[in-house]
Structure formats: structure tokens, C-alpha cells
């Protein structure tokens, strides 16, 4: 390997270790939760009860008694783990879950990877061929970017497109689509750090203009809380398409475990199931997760899910209004349950996080390499188990604690 590449890599690893190590030493990341309230509204960290604004269980299902009962029933039948490659045998809870997911995602064809990361590693290396062009949104999730190393090794060309820049995507397709048998665009449905969403309605017409274009969306943060039966952000915005694949998490808003990939044809689903490496060589979804996911699927197929979404959206609207009123430097004001307030430096972000924890709130410290240098800040989430009073107190603290870290002029510039 080129000596400069090795040297640059070593320098980067040193910077990452120093920065993250500082955050660990200050007790701000890599924390252990010693207990939580029965509704997961609060978590206990080092003896301090904190209102939890770092959870991705957006609908509050992770402590729902129906899911707990489903998990317990599965444990009673199969124990903590059914230790076999699914290529040989798997528990019948897979079939129960597949049947329900098929109803939600019809007319797509569903598979159940163990995680979204393992799903990427099964789907993309099977479907992307040598010589294909792979275009990545600059902010697509790290788990998708991880998979592109495998794709490069298989002979695909991988390039990055500026974030949510449909014009840049169109230009890249105009210049290069005809040079490749297939072109793949990889993006998130809802982006996990800033809470903004992919402009899927503007991207969809490109499928007609470029007949060799395929879209692959990681909608881990959209599936469950948004759309009919929790179908997610992507399928709430555009219909199914024969050249579009969507993968979602069953361990976030869904409140259980595993993931779901929705493929446009049975032929494609069969190819991924039989040839996708992680469907054979990785462990299966554990029985308790499957039991909980089946119960969650029943919830999503009921009218109760729609009411829970309305309640969540009401909380989201409150947070957005407060961010605007206070002119806080939020990087997105889209109607999603993820928010990011920029502080500019790791030191500022750590101080902001520490102040919030001192006031009784847990938030996610976010710095390089999770976000680009100079974009350090805090991420927080809106969930169904946060009360109106919780949100009011939280937003008061968020507004108070940024003072002295970022000037009001900078706040205004960020929102513009």
C-alpha cells in the first residue's frame, strides 16, 4: 500500500481516537445505562436519572407490554437463541413476521435481515455487478458506506454526490449512465444525524429518464412512525417501483429487533436470500426479537398506530416551533423526530452536552468523525413517551444552555 495512504490513515485514526477519547473521559459518550423507567422515559446513568432524548424508539413501543409478552412467549418456546444458520433451519416466527410485513409492504417482496447493516451486506453485493456505477449521497449512513468497500472489491465504480443535490445527481447520470450497464443511487430516507429527508419525489422521475438507474434507500429512521401502517418515509412519498429497493429497521421506531428489506420482485428476493452472504453466515434474529416484532406488526396493522403517529407529530411540531422561536442553529427543521443543533467545535458540543446532563437531560454528543469537522453539536430525538411538560422543560434548557457557546448572530446565519 502507498506509504502516504498509510500515513494519512494513521493520522486520521489518531485524531479520531483523541477526540472520541476526550468525550469518553468526560463521561459524555460510551455510557452505561444502569436502569430505566418502565416507559423508558428516563434512564439512569451513574446514579443520575436523566430524561432520555437519545432514544430512536420514536413510537415508544420498546417497552409496550404487548411486545414484552411476545418476546417472553418466544423465549419460552425457543430460549434466548436458536443457534442455527437460517440456511438450514429457522423458527416459525420468521413466517409469522413475513406474513404481516408482506401485508404492510405489498406489492413489494420482503426479507428479514438480522440488522440493516447486515442487510446492506447481503443485498448490495448480490445485486450490484462488476462494472456498475454506484453513486452515494455524501451523508448516506455509515453502514451503507461500509458496504461500498465490498462493492469496489467486486469491480464496481463508487463515487459520491453532494448531499440531497438532485441537480448534481442528474448531471452525473447524464454524463456517465450510458457508460455502465446499471447505475445505483444509495441514500437514506431520513438522515440519522440531522433529521432531514431525501427528496424522493424529485429523484423518482429520474427512473423514467434513465432506464438503467436503480434506487436503494436506507429508511431505518422512517419505517414505523411514518405513513400508513408505518410504511416509512420513502413509500409515503412515492409508490413502489420495479427499480427501487428500501430497507428499514425493526429495532428503532418498531421497538423490536431485526430489519426488513423490500425488494421489487420475487426473483430479486430469491437471489438475495440464497446468495446474500449474511443470510447464510450471520446469526439469525433472536427468538425474543422475532416475538416482539410479530406483536409490533399487529400494532402497526391496527388503527392505534395512526393515533400514535398523530401524537408524535404534535410533539415534533412543538419542538420545531420552539427551535424557530429561539432561532437555535438547527441544521434541519423538517417534520421528523430527529434534530441537530450545531455548536461548531467539539469543546462547545461537550460543554453543551454537559450542561444538558446537569439539568437532567440526556442528549447525543455528535462530533467528528460522525459529522464533518466544524459541524460538532448535539443530536436529540422526539419520542412518544416524552410528555408535554418534559418537552417544555427540555426546550427551555436547550435555549438557556447554548448561551455563551454560540452567538445569536451565528444562530441566525445557521437557520438561513
Model confidence pLDDT, tens digit, residues 45-88: 999 999 999 999 999 999 999 999 999 999 999 999 999 999 99
Q: At how many degrees (to 10) do helices 346-358 and 3-25 cross?
A: 20
- 308 and 184 in a common domain: no
What integer pLDDT is reported at residue 309 of this predicted model? 97
Q: Each residue of 336-375: pLDDT tens digit? A: 999 999 998 999 999 999 999 999 999 999 988 778 878 8
Residues 6+ apart with CB under 8 A from 122: 113, 272, 276, 277, 278, 279
Statement to judge: residues 379 and 338 lie in one domain: yes
- Do 320 and 344 reside in the same domain of the chain? yes
Q: Smallest Cα–Cα separation from 187: which of 253, 231, 143?
A: 143
Q: How far apart are CA 41 and CA 56, in angstroms?
A: 12
Are 291 and 327 in a shared domain? no
pLDDT score recorded for residue 370: 79
Distances from the Cα of 207 to the Cα of 173, 188, 239, 241, 316, angstroms = 11, 17, 12, 9, 32
Q: CA 105, CA 95: separation in Å to the nearest integer?
A: 15
Same domain membership, residue 32 and residue 83: no
pLDDT at residue 308 is higher than 60: yes
The answer to whether residues 281 and 403 belong to one domain is no
Please state whether 230 falls in left (phi above 0), alpha (psi between -120 and 50) or beta.
left
Q: What is the pLDDT of residue 144?
A: 97
Residue 279 structural domain: 65-300
pLDDT band at 11 (very low <50, low <70, confident <90, very high): confident
- The pLDDT tens digits for 323-335 are 999 999 999 999 9
Residues 36 and 98 in one domain: no
The mean per-residue pLDDT over the stretch 175-186 comes to: 97
Number of domains in the chain: 2
Nearest to 159, CA basis, from 170, 171, 172, 147: 172
User: Which region among 19-33, 149-163, 187-201 has the lowest average model confidence (pLDDT)?
Assistant: 19-33
pLDDT confidence bin for 414, thresholds 50/70/90: very low
pLDDT at residue 13, rounded to an integer? 82
Residue 310: give its domain's CATH number: 3.90.1150.10
Same-domain check for residues 149 and 69: yes
Amino acid at each position: 500500500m502507498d506509504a502516504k495512504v498509510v500515513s494519512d490513515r494513521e493520522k486520521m485514526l489518531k485524531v479520531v481516537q483523541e477526540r472520541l477519547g476526550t468525550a469518553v473521559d468526560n463521561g459524555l459518550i460510551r455510557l452505561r445505562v444502569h436502569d430505566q423507567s418502565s416507559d423508558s422515559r428516563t434512564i439512569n446513568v451513574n446514579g443520575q436519572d436523566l430524561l432520555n432524548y437519545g432514544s430512536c424508539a420514536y413510537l415508544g413501543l420498546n417497552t409496550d407490554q404487548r411486545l414484552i409478552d411476545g418476546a417472553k412467549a418466544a423465549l419460552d418456546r425457543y430460549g434466548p437463541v436458536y443457534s442455527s444458520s437460517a440456511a438450514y433451519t429457522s423458527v416459525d416466527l420468521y413466517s409469522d413476521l413475513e406474513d404481516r410485513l408482506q401485508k404492510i409492504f405489498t406489492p413489494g417482496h420482503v426479507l428479514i435481515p438480522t440488522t440493516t447493516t447486515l442487510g446492506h451486506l447481503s443485498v448490495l453485493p448480490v445485486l450490484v455487478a462488476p462494472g456498475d456505477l454506484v453513486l452515494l449521497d455524501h451523508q448516506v449512513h455509515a453502514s451503507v458506506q461500509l458496504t461500498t468497500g465490498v462493492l469496489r472489491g467486486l469491480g464496481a465504480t463508487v463515487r459520491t454526490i453532494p448531499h440531497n443535490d438532485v441537480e448534481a445527481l442528474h448531471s452525473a447520470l447524464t454524463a456517465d449512465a450510458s457508460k455502465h450497464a446499471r447505475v445505483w443511487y444509495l441514500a437514506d430516507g431520513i438522515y440519522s444525524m440531522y433529521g432531514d429527508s431525501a427528496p424522493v419525489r424529485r429523484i423518482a422521475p429520474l427512473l423514467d429518464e434513465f432506464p438503467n438507474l436503480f434506487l436503494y434507500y436506507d429508511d431505518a429512521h422512517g419505517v414505523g412512525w411514518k405513513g400508513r401502517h408505518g410504511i416509512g418515509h420513502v413509500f409515503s412519498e412515492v409508490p413502489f417501483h420495479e427499480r427501487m429497493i428500501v430497507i428499514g429497521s425493526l429495532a428503532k421506531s418498531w421497538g423490536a429487533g431485526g430489519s426488513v428489506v423490500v425488494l421489487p420482485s420475487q426473483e430479486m428476493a430469491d437471489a438475495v436470500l440464497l446468495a446474500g452472504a449474511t443470510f447464510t453466515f450471520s446469526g439469525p434474529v433472536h427468538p425474543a426479537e422475532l416475538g416482539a416484532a410479530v406483536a409490533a406488526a399487529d400494532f402497526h396493522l391496527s388503527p392505534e398506530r395512526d393515533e400514535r403517529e398523530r401524537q408524535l407529530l404534535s410533539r415534533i411540531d412543538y419542538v420545531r416551533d420552539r427551535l424557530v422561536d429561539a432561532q437555535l442553529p438547527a441544521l434541519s427543521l423538517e417534520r421528523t423526530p430527529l434534530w441537530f443543533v450545531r455548536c461548531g467545535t467539539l469543546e462547545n458540543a461537550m460543554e453543551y452536552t454537559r450542561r444538558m446532563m446537569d439539568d437532567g437531560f440526556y442528549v447525543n454528543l455528535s462530533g467528528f468523525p460522525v459529522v464533518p469537522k466544524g459541524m460538532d453539536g448535539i443530536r436529540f430525538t422526539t419520542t412518544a413517551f416524552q410528555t408535554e411538560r418534559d418537552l417544555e422543560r427540555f426546550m427551555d434548557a436547550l435555549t438557556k444552555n447554548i448561551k455563551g457557546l454560540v452567538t445569536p448572530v451565528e444562530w441566525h446565519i445557521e437557520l438561513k
